[in-house]
Amino acid sequence: MKVMPIQKREISDSRIVFGCMGLGGDWNYDPYTHEQVTIAEKAIEAALETGITMFDHADIYKMGKAEAVFGEVMKTKPGLREQIVLQSKCGIRFTDGVLPQRYDFSKSHILSSVDGILQRLGTDYLDVLLLHRPDPLMEPDEIAEAFQQLKASGKVRHFGVSNMTAAQMRYLQKSIEQPLVVNQLELHLSRLDWLDQGILVNRAEGSSLNFDDGILQHCLMEDIQLQAWGPLSQGRFTGKSLEGASEPVKATTALIAKMAQERETTPEAILLGWLMKHPAKIQPVIGTSSAERVKACKDAVRQAELMSREDWYALYTSARGVRVP
């Protein structure tokens, strides 16, 4: 599967993104091991065999080790860099025991973060850089300066955000010359406020929802690719123990298993197919380091195409636990 030029919403022809947060071992500063590099290599190979050519990182994942082991794998595979789209995120700073955990969209931090990302990955450029979480102290003009310098130097080709509202994106875009091409949000079958927000208009039960009204429509109208983190619901419907689970979770797990058996596919493909059926052409970011689980997602695109409106609503209603109004 060849990589397409990023233009507007279509950042690649990879309908699924491989999320690399699971690579690199534990969340500490211990050195990564040869075994962890091997795990990363197997996961990357499984992703490529599945047709996935886009890989998502963040400078904080496993304290930088996720990017570092990915870089080790790329060293052993000449030509791989030109076959894939690399995306990473910056802006979250962990506590060091003195300073608090915080967000930092200052020009100096963005620039230094990108230099660290490129060094760990062993590449000269990122295809996409995302601002990881909204910084209340962000200055759009300062971010614009950082983006312009990164673009001019060739270190970053395209820019986007993660976990941002439509208003926050508009606020940034007023200063940033480059179009924001991605917004990465938590979207999946066990968190449904992104859908409920749209159907509970003028209803009392909709007043407690916390999902930004209009964000999906804004991204669609502005050709901003929606990416979904957590799309497999942390295994809740695809093999995780159901001990103590709610009745809707148990019922939905059974329904997904039934659909998978009838269609001769995997529960993972059904779950992702449901998400990808949405008209926003959502790109799931699967965050597993298991090569086998990556391969289980291979049929997701076909399942999205085959899924009927009735199938989609059956899963949505089952996960909600109550019918739509």
- Please count the residues of the chain: 325
- 66 contacts 20 by C-beta, under 8 angstroms: yes
- 302 contacts 36 by C-beta, under 8 angstroms: no
SS (H, E, C) the chain: CCCCCCECCECCCCCCEEEHHHCCCCCCCCCCCHHHHHHHHHHHHHHHHCCCCEEECCCCHHHHHHHHHHHHHHHCCCCHHHHCEEEEEECEECCCCCCCCEECCCHHHHHHHHHHHHHHHCCCCEEEEEECCCCCCCCHHHHHHHHHHHHHHCCEEEEEEECCCHHHHHHHHCCCCCCEEEEEEECECCECHHHHHHHCCCCHHHHHCCCCCCHHHHHHHCCCEEEEECCCHHHCCCCCCCCCCCHHHHHHHHHHHHHHHHHCCCHHHHHHHHHHCCCCCCEEEECCCCHHHHHCCCCHHHHHHHCCHHHHHHHHHHHHCCCCC
Burial of 76 (0-12, 13-18, 19+ CB in 10 A): exposed
| Gyration radius of the chain over CA positions | 20
Just list the catalytic residues. Answer: 61
